[in-house]
Chain A
Amino acid sequence: MNFQGIFSMSRKDVTTLVIFSIVVLAMPIWLQPFGAAYPDLMQRFAIFGILAIGFNILFGLTGYLSFGHAAFLGVGSYTAVWTFKLFSMNPIPALFFAVILSGLFALVIGYVSLRRSGIYFSILTLAFAQMSYNLAYSVLTPITMGETGLQLEASDPRIIDSMFVGEEAGLPVSNIFGLEMTGIPGFYFCAIFLLIGFFITQRIFASPFGMMLRGIKSNQTRMNYTGFNTRPYTLTAFVISGMYAGLAGGLMAVTDPLAGAERMQWTASGEIVLMTILGGVGTLLGPIIGAWLIKYFENIFSSFNENVLHNLFGFLPDGLEGFVVEITSMFVGEGWHLTLGLVFVLVVTFLPGGMMEGYRRITTLFTGGGGDGDKAKSEDTQTQPAE
């Protein structure tokens, strides 16, 4: 462990933060060769990165596996859209309310769910999330607009905006004093929150609080007999990770101001778990890498269709080509989840520590230990075993 503090952060943490910031801010450049440098996808990289690191504070540190984190994502989105409708198209108040409200929501759900641990905790969170989904889908239609989803309307009051700006034609776009939160500015807006979120996570990991959370994961009995009341610790971790999810949901609404109930469905919660496990549970960077990989593959593979495949395998003899296309087409387009499933099975079987374990193994292979090199490269090197 490195205790040489710079602004009470270890040198390793500062290096990681600097490199990570460069990697994130330079995304529009280095993602180009991968065909992923368009704003919409990069916004999702940043947003799901925030979601995954927040989830990791709960699951990675305390070991409590929440299967209902999408509920907080949804609460964040609905809150943000309502803030747009009622007050202002400025994203800052929208995000503020999204984080606060999802935090309160997490406090209530966490208070009940954390009375149990292990599988019972997971089931409780899943049940709460599905309840929230069903409420949003049907019962709470006046607030959530149910099936159609919550959208902006020209007739929204927008009290604050209407005091300063006159009526405009068409639907407004979220903006900070005129700078619209779409495209590249939208990406950089999300990226700044990803970096802030990452910095806070680093602090938590290096704090006594982080050590207590790891202690809970390692041996809760010993924690109790050592004089710690573990319930408030797990509840705090739960609320913090719920707030991260609320922030991510709020950012989704900032970049695209609508909110639907499907955002809270259990498949969305499951995706968060997959991201974290794929990247590396309990590591700083793993969950972000997991989120990026899943969002990248989702985009690439789901856009493949039979025509693309025919072009790709055009060099093969006719009969064989048809056969190969037939087989591979099951894994792309709508079937890309099959690819994801296979990758997941391979990673969990051969790299139980996720991509970060693969990265560690590769660096020890090349340097014979002391692998602490360029984290930025890890993503590229890690995609290879996955493919």
Chain B
Amino acid sequence: MTIASENVVLNVADVHKTFGGLHALSDIDLQIEEGKTHAIIGPNGAGKSTLLNVVVGRLAPTRGAVVFDGQVLTGKQPHEINQIGVARVFQTPEIFPDLPVLQNVMAPAFAKRDGSFTLNFLSSLADEKEIREEAEHMLEDVGLIHQKDMNAGSLSRGDKRRMELAMCLMQHPKLLLLDEPTAGMSRHDTNTTIELLRKIKERGMTKVIIEHDMHVVFSLADKISVLAGGRIIAEGTPDEVRNNPKVQEAYLGGAH
């Protein structure tokens, strides 16, 4: 291992995942450094989402292990992984469509403060001033404060994504996993989201981004891993990856 290993916060070691005869992931070794933004790119079907699902415990790897902050994530329940400090933004927003926007953003703060289960059925939500104020600040940051009493289900797709990001940020996670955070967004919305993600970078949060949009990747990532056919074919800084002939062949197709 390299010298950087001291700062490695997420270590994906020798992970394999097969679905029947299909090798979705093979020999995945990935070290993600603290405070850095690490992008994972690759053509459709390369195994990017599978990799993310292995990290958050949605899928169990066929072989290998995922270690975060000294703790083995493999085999843990999604809520345990979250409690360790890993938050995730999904490709299609996973939100509480029947709850008001404000409560969507407040709920994660309760999980952070009170743990995975508390019997607080005689206290009042109205008394939780601290959490409510924090949630309102967060909604101001992502530009959704005027929609706070709306049901989250009636937000636009772009707003849902921003709200989901706000939900994750309420927990101040050590590691934030973003699965195509700008997919389906307009250019303007994409740029707002990039700005937002830059702001988080200043707070020193480690981020793993899966993204198709090269504009997003090259404006945010410190390091890029290129996935193709379930293997990592290249790794490096944006410039190194951009100039790697293997990557151009496999993914960029020489178009860029």
Question: Interface on A for B, CB 8 Å cutoff?
Answer: 1, 3-5, 8-10, 200, 203-204, 206-212, 214-215, 217-219, 221-230, 232-233, 236, 240
Q: Footprint of A on B, CB under 8 Å?
A: 56, 77-79, 82-83, 87-88, 90, 94-100, 102-103, 106-108, 110-112, 114-128, 132, 149, 167, 171
Interface of A is mostly: helix
Q: Is the CB of A211 within 8 A of B117?
A: no
Whether the pair A217, B98 counts as a contact (CB closer than 8 A) is yes
The distance in angstroms between the C-alpha atoms of A238 and B237, with both chains bound, is 53
Query: A8 contacts B99, CB within 8 Å?
Result: no
CA distance A333 to B123 in the complex (A): 47
Distance to closest chain B CB from A356 (angstroms): 16
Chain B residues in 8 Å Cβ range of A3: 126, 132
Cross-chain contact B100 with A1 (CB below 8 angstroms): yes
Q: For residue A215, which residues in chain B have a CB less than 8 angstroms away from its CB?
A: 96, 99, 107
Task: Report Cα–Cα, A110/B77, bound state, in Å.
Answer: 21
The reply to whether B99 and A211 form a contact with Cβ atoms under 8 Å apart is yes
Q: Identify 20 new A-B residue pairs, CB closer than 8 A, beyond the known A204-B122, A212-B110, A233-B117.
A: A1-B100, A3-B126, A5-B124, A203-B122, A206-B124, A207-B123, A208-B123, A210-B125, A211-B110, A219-B95, A225-B78, A225-B90, A226-B108, A226-B171, A227-B82, A227-B115, A227-B116, A228-B107, A228-B116, A232-B117
Residues of A within 8 A of B102 (CB): 1
A228 and B94 in contact (CB under 8 A), knowing A3-B126, A206-B125, A211-B107?
no
Docked CA distance A194–B61 (Å): 52
Q: Which residues of A contact B82 (CB under 8 A)?
A: 224-227
- Bound Cα distance A10, B125 (Å): 10
Given known A218-B97, A224-B79, contact A229–B116 (CB-CB < 8 A): yes
Instruction: Check A206 against B117 for contact (C-beta < 8 Å).
Output: no
**Contact status A208-B126, CB under 8 Å:** no
CB < 8 Å A-B pair total: 116
Query: What residues of chain A lie closer than 8 Å to B125, measured between beta carbons?
Result: 206-208, 210-211
Q: Report how far A223 CA is from B103 CA in the complex, Å.
A: 13
Which chain B positions have C-beta within 8 A of A221? Answer: 94
CA distance A342 to B128 in the complex (A): 45
Q: Which residue from chain B places its CB closest to the CB of A63 in the assembled complex?
A: B98
Whole-angstrom distance between the Cβ of A207 and the nearest chain B Cβ: 5
With A229-B117, A233-B117 already in contact, the answer to whether A211 and B103 are too (CB < 8 A) is: yes
With A8-B126, A211-B99, A212-B107 as contacts: A225 and B88 at CB distance below 8 Å:
yes
Given A221-B94, A224-B79, A226-B167, answer yes or no on A207-B99 (Cβ-Cβ < 8 Å): no
Q: Which of B78, B99, B110, B112 contacts A224 (CB 8 A)?
A: B78
Q: In the bound complex, how far is the Cα of B126 from the Cα of A1, in angstroms?
A: 9
A229 CA / B115 CA spacing, docked (Å): 9
Q: A226 — which chain B residues lie within 8 A by C-beta?
A: 79, 82, 107-108, 111, 167, 171
Query: A228: which of B90, B117, B167 is its contact (CB, 8 Å)?
Result: B117
What's the Cα separation between A117 and B108 when bound, in Å? 23
Do the beta carbons of B171 and A206 come within 8 Å of each other? Answer: no
Cβ–Cβ < 8 Å partners of B120 in chain A: 207-209
Residue among B78, B90, B107, B110 with the most chain A CB within 10 A? B107
Task: Give the complex CA separation of A240 and B121 in angstroms.
Answer: 11
Write 26 A-B pairs (CB below 8 A) sorted by A numbering. Answer: A5-B124, A5-B127, A8-B124, A10-B126, A204-B121, A206-B125, A208-B110, A208-B114, A208-B120, A209-B123, A211-B106, A211-B125, A212-B110, A214-B99, A215-B96, A218-B98, A223-B79, A224-B79, A226-B167, A227-B79, A227-B112, A228-B111, A228-B117, A232-B117, A233-B117, A236-B121
- Asked whether, in the complex, the Cβ of A222 is within 8 Å of the Cβ of B121, the reply is no
**Shortest beta-carbon contacts, A-B, top 3:** A227-B82, A227-B111, A209-B121
**Residues in B whose Cβ lies below 8 Å from that of A10:** 126
A261 vs B59: C-alpha distance when bound (angstroms): 46
Cα–Cα distance between A211 and B102 once the two chains are bound (Å)? 11
By the criterion CB–CB under 8 Å, are A225 and B95 in contact? no
Contact B96 A219 (CB under 8 A): yes
Question: With A and B bound together, what is the CA distance between A1 and B132 in angstroms?
Answer: 12
A203 touches B121 (CB 8 A): yes
Interface contact A222-B83, CB-CB below 8 Å:
no
Q: Could you say which residues of chain B place their CB within 8 Å of the CB of A203?
A: 121-122, 124
Chain B neighbourhood of A225, CB < 8 A: 56, 78-79, 82, 87-88, 90, 94
